[in-house]
């Protein structure tokens, strides 16, 4: 056994020392899957090693070396052409380098030769740029601070004196330059600023003078009925606003021209009428005062509105305030004051009818308030209308006072039916007409209240006084009935109008006084007719110390029974005993009041008589037969 193990060991050692064995072992131990280089080599070998024979294996090295040699020869051949091309490129680059060096040397030589010229050219270019900037600045300065020749020509204008829009543009530029010169004065260019400002001031003064003359001539020609205010004139007024004196003079010229035109227009409207005779001349309606004065006022209102519109059109581009417009408008309308005032005063002085005078007063008041919305309150036209309105107011109340004086100078006697007199009816009709005019007028409520108060004082108070004087010769009953009828008519007239409550209350107080008189007379009339007047008087005057009432003469039971029998007949037919004056009362309400209050008075008298007779102290033994009805029964029968 030991010999066997030793033999194996010797064999192993012999194998380890054998090179071939080591190579084989190395090859067998090699893993081709992980050896990429070996795999690539085997793949390359498989291309040309197609036959595995002894010869091919022996020649493998020489084949590989030969193949490598071929590859190197091919590589050398290919790179030979590349080298030739690179040599060509090198030669070209070399020649270009030589050319560039030559050019550089030549440029250097040229630069050395032209160095002074280049410096001079650069300096000139720099100076040229500076001059160009200065030229631009100069052009901008001239553009901003100088007028162009054509603009200066436009300011001087043409010989015919006409204006064009170029004039206003040039004037605007001159104003702009003059304003910009103030900026120069705050810099170190004060001399230039002063000179330019002086030049522009001269240009502006001559231009404004020319503009003023032109605008003045244009305004003088605006004398037609409907003048056309040109846009050029509006532009001129806007420009002249910088010269307040010239602006005001031009406005005055416009106002004078329009004033003449308005006066001529009013005269033509009064005497000639409109174009072609339509509308007809206002003077043709002079026989109708209301229409005559109304047409003149309507024309003045229309003229004032038209003139204000034209004035606003003239100054639409200006910054002028409303005071200037109102001032010129007042000057324009002042010319028509005198012809208008003379004609209206003639109408008012010659008119005697109070209704017509009051219509004219309301008409003047309405147009005064209407025209006041167009022109200022201090205008001469409004003052004239106010003066005429005051005159019409005085003439109207003059007429009412004259009518009242006539009523009191010749007082009519009351008619037999105790109704109103003709004077009362006529005066109340006049009052109706006046108040109807007042209701139709468009005036303020406060003015209406004041007018109502004055009118009623001028008409109602004299009427009441006239009625009192007229009834002074009548007895108390007739007077009460007559006064009640007259005041009733006054009440029915005033009840149709507003602001008459106070006056109606005063009249009602007077009616109540007349009703009291009629009630007293009616009660006395009934008591006298039934024979209870003496009884009632005796009952009122009897004193308990005089003894029993039945003991007095004419106060016995038979006398009282006879009177009570008549009183029963009256209660059966109360309307049989009515005062004739009560039947003449015009107011059913007053008649009913007299009837009711007199019945109450009679019932009160009967109650007093009844209580006295039924009193045991008066010793009437048959009192139930004397006064069979109680006071309550009498009240029910007479109510």
In the chain, where are the structural domains located? 66-145, 149-214, 267-396, 426-518, 525-636
Tell me how far CA of residue 360 lies from CA of 370, 475, 588, in angstroms. 15, 45, 39
User: Using one digit for the tens of pLDDT, what is the confidence trace for 10-34?
Assistant: 545 555 567 888 877 877 776 666 6
Mean pLDDT is lowest, of 183-192, 237-246, 274-283, 590-599, for 183-192
How many CA atoms within 13 Å lie on the side-chain side of 617?
A: 8
To the nearest whole percent, how much of the chain has pLDDT over 70?
89
Omega prior to 551 cis, within 30 of 0? no
d(CA 217, CA 237): 13
Give the mean model confidence (pLDDT) for residues 258-263.
Answer: 92
Residue 414 near residue 421 (C-beta atoms within 8 A): yes
Rounded Cα–Cα distance for residues 535 and 606 (Å): 10
Residue with tokens 């006529």: 426
pLDDT tens per residue across span 446-491? 667 787 888 888 888 999 999 999 888 889 889 999 999 999 999 9
Mean pLDDT, rounded, of the chain: 83
pLDDT in tens, 323-362: 888 899 999 999 999 999 999 999 999 988 888 998 899 8
- The average pLDDT across 73-83 equals 88
- Look-up of token digits 């009515």: 578
Distance of CA 63 to the CA centre of its chain: 122
pLDDT for 381: 93
**Band (2; pLDDT cuts 50, 70, 90):** very low
Euclidean distance between CA atoms 243 and 199, whole angstroms: 18
3-state helix vs strand vs coil in the chain, percent to 5: 80, 0, 20
**pTM tops 0.85, yes or no:** no
Q: Is 377 exposed, middle or buried (0-12, 13-18, 19+ CB in 10 A)?
A: exposed
Quote the pLDDT of residue 488.
Answer: 92
- Cβ(471)–Cβ(421) under 8 Å? no
CB 352 within 8 A of CB 399: yes
Please state, in angstroms and rounded to a whole number, the distance separating the CA atoms of residues 54 and 59: 9
Task: Quote the tokens at residue 503.
Answer: 């006056």
Q: What percent of the chain has pLDDT over 90?
A: 23
- CA separation (Å) from 436 to 233, 429, 444, 458, 547? 51, 10, 16, 16, 69
Burial class (CB in 10 A: 0-12, 13-18, 19+), 440: exposed
């Amino acid at each position: 056994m030991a010999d066997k193990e030793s033999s194996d060991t010797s064999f192993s050692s012999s194998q380890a020392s054998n090179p071939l064995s080591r190579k084989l072992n190395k090859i067998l131990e090699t893993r081709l899957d992980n050896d990429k280089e070996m795999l690539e080599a085997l793949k390359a070998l498989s291309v040309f090693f197609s036959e595995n024979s002894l010869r091919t294996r022996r020649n493998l090295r020489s084949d590989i070396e030969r193949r490598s040699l071929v590859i190197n020869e091919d590589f050398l051949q290919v790179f030979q052409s590349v080298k030739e091309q690179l040599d060509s490129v090198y030669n070209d680059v070399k020649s270009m380098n030589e050319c560039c060096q030559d050019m550089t040397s030549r440029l250097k030589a040229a630069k050395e030769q032209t160095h002074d010229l280049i410096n001079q050219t650069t300096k000139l270019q720099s100076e040229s740029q500076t001059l160009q900037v200065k030229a631009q600045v100069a052009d901008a300065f001239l553009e901003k601070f100088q007028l162009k020749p054509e603009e200066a020509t436009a300011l001087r204008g043409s010989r015919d004196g006409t204006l064009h829009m170029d004039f206003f543009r040039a004037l605007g530029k001159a104003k702009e330059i003059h304003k910009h010169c103030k900026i120069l004065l705050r810099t170190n260019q004060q001399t230039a600023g002063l000179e330019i400002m002086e030049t522009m001031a001269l240009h502006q003064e001559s231009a404004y003078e020319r503009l003023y003359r032109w605008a003045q001539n244009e305004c003088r020609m605006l004398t037609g009925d409907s003048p056309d205010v040109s846009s050029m004139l509006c532009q001129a007024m806007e420009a002249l606003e910088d010269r307040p004196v010239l602006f005001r003079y031009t406005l005055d010229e416009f106002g004078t021209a329009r004033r003449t035109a308005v006066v001529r227009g009013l005269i033509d409207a009064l005497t000639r009428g409109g174009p072609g005779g339509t509308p007809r001349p206002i003077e043709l309606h002079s026989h109708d005062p209301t229409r005559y004065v109304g047409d003149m006022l309507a024309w003045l209102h229309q003229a004032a509105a038209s003139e204000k519109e034209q004035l606003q059109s003239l100054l639409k581009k200006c910054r002028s305030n409303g005071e200037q417009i109102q001032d010129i408008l007042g000057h324009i309308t002042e010319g028509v004051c005198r012809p208008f005032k003379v004609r209206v005063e003639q109408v008012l002085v010659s008119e005697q009818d109070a209704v017509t005078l009051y219509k004219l007063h309301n008409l003047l008041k309405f147009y005064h308030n209407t025209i006041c919305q167009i022109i200022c309150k201090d205008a001469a036209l409004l003052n004239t209308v106010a003066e005429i309105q005051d005159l019409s107011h005085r003439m109207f109340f003059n007429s009412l006072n004259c009518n009242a004086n006539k009523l009191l100078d010749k007082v009519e006697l009351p008619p037999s039916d105790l109704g109103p007199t003709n004077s009362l009816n006529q005066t109340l009709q006049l009052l109706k007409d006046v108040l109807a005019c007042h209701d139709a007028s468009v005036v303020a409520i406060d003015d209406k209240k004041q007018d109502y108060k004055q009118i009623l004082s001028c008409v109602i108070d004299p009427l009441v006084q006239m009625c009192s004087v007229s009834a002074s010769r009548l007895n108390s009953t007739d007077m009460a009935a007559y006064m009640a009828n007259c005041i009733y008519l006054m009440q029915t007239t005033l009840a149709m109008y507003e602001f008459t409550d106070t006056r109606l209350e005063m009249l009602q107080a007077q009616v109540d006084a007349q009703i009291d008189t009629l009630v007293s007379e009616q009660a006395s009339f009934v008591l006298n007719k039934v024979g209870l007047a003496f009884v009632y008087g005796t009952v009122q005057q009897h004193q308990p110390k005089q003894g029993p009432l039945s003991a007095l003469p004419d106060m016995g039971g038979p006398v009282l029974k006879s009177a009570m029998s008549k009183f029963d007949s009256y209660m059966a037919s109360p309307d049989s005993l009515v005062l004739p004056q009560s039947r003449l009362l015009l107011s059913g309400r007053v008649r009913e009041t007299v009837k009711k209050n007199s019945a109450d008075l009679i019932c009160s008298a009967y109650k007093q008589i009844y209580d006295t007779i039924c009193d045991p102290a008066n010793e009437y033994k048959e009192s139930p037969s004397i006064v069979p009805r109680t006071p309550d029964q009498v009240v029910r029968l007479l109510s």
